[in-house]
Amino acid sequence: MSRPVIFDLFHTLVEGADDERDRVVGEMALMVGVAPAALVAVYHATWRDRLVRWDVEETVRILAGRLGGTPTNEEVTRAAGHRRALARRVLDSVSTATLEVLDALRDDGHPLALISNATSETAEAWPQSALAHRFDVAIFSCDVGLAKPDPEIYHTAAERLGVVPAACAYVGDGADGELAGAAAVGMTVLRTTEHNDSDPSWGGPAIATLGDLPALLRESAGRQVPL
């Protein structure tokens, strides 16, 4: 079996769409009767709870309540649907070039896994995305109650692939301390800067484009040397 490759999602396989996320949250605020800037601010402040605890309806209801709002069930449902539509758009934005890289890796025999710090609407949209069937394992923080860089989320991915962490390569932009977390459990780490330069202080190898990855892995395997 070729080396398993574990990918991050946002800013690695797809753009993070950070500005659009804030715009959508501001629009959700108007749907539930609270100030847009205030809802954007509490969305940012509660990122950890949203990653590992709350689904999208809970998020809307809890955060609107903290801001003095009393949205109806219909308003919560409408706002949650607006957020779900964003998740689908972000996943649908994956480029043909990225899909071709994943296909090339699979053709070379690499098992593929995903570890994403993601809220529930992304996990819900994943099965219908063009990415989903290209992965053997997909782990979302909202599903497992863990977020990178917690070592257990990396161990979970390796276990579901049927390998030890040291057998895996991890590819990510570096947000949330994910690269150090992967290295700490023994994974070989490759930082990608294609979508975002999230961790410029990382001292390990980096690739400017995911298109470089299949050849890099082939070369490493042919020379029987670590990356």
Encoding tokens for residue 22?
A: 């804030």
User: Domain boundary at 91, 119, 153, which?
Assistant: 91
pLDDT at 209: 95
Q: Are both 83 and 101 inside the same structural domain?
A: no
Instruction: For residues 106 and 78, state if they share a domain.
Output: no
Q: What is the pLDDT of residue 219?
A: 83
pLDDT of residue 110: 97
CATH number, domain at 219?
A: 3.40.50.1000
Asked whether residue 124 falls in the same domain as residue 216, the answer is: yes
**Contact criterion met (CB below 8 Å) for 71 and 79:** yes
pLDDT for 226: 60
Question: What pLDDT sits at residue 220?
Answer: 74
Contact (CB, 8 A) for 192 and 198: no
User: Residue 93 has what DSSP assignment?
Assistant: T
Quick one: residue 54, left, alpha or beta (phi over 0 = left, psi -120 to 50 = alpha)?
beta
Q: What is the pLDDT of residue 214?
A: 92
What pLDDT is recorded for position 148? 98
Domain extent at residue 166 = 5-15+94-223
Q: Which residue has the tokens 């992965």?
A: 135
CA 201, 161, 93, 141 torsion-angle sign: negative
Backbone phi and psi for residue 192, each to the nearest 5 degrees, phi listed first: -110, 140
Per-residue model confidence (pLDDT) at position 218: 87
**Cis amide prior to 127 (ω within 30 degrees):** no
Domain boundary (91, 114, 144) is at 91
Strands (E), the chain: 5-7, 112-116, 137-140, 169-172, 188-192, 206-207
136 shares its domain with 211: yes
Shared domain for 52 and 115, answered yes or no, is no
Sign, Cα dihedral of 10, 116, 95, 89: negative
Do 170 and 105 fall into the same domain? yes
* Domain shared by 100 and 208, yes or no: yes
110 shares its domain with 212? yes
Instruction: Indicate if 125 and 193 belong to the same structural domain.
Output: yes
Going from the C-alpha of 157 to that of each of 40, 85, 91, 214, 222, the distances in angstroms are: 32, 27, 21, 21, 26
How big is the chain, counted in residues? 227
Query: Are 68 and 141 contained in the same domain?
Result: no
Stretches where the chain sits below pLDDT 50 are none
Q: Are residues 197 and 158 in the same domain?
A: yes
Q: Are residues 129 and 64 in the same domain?
A: no
Number of domains into which the chain is organized: 2
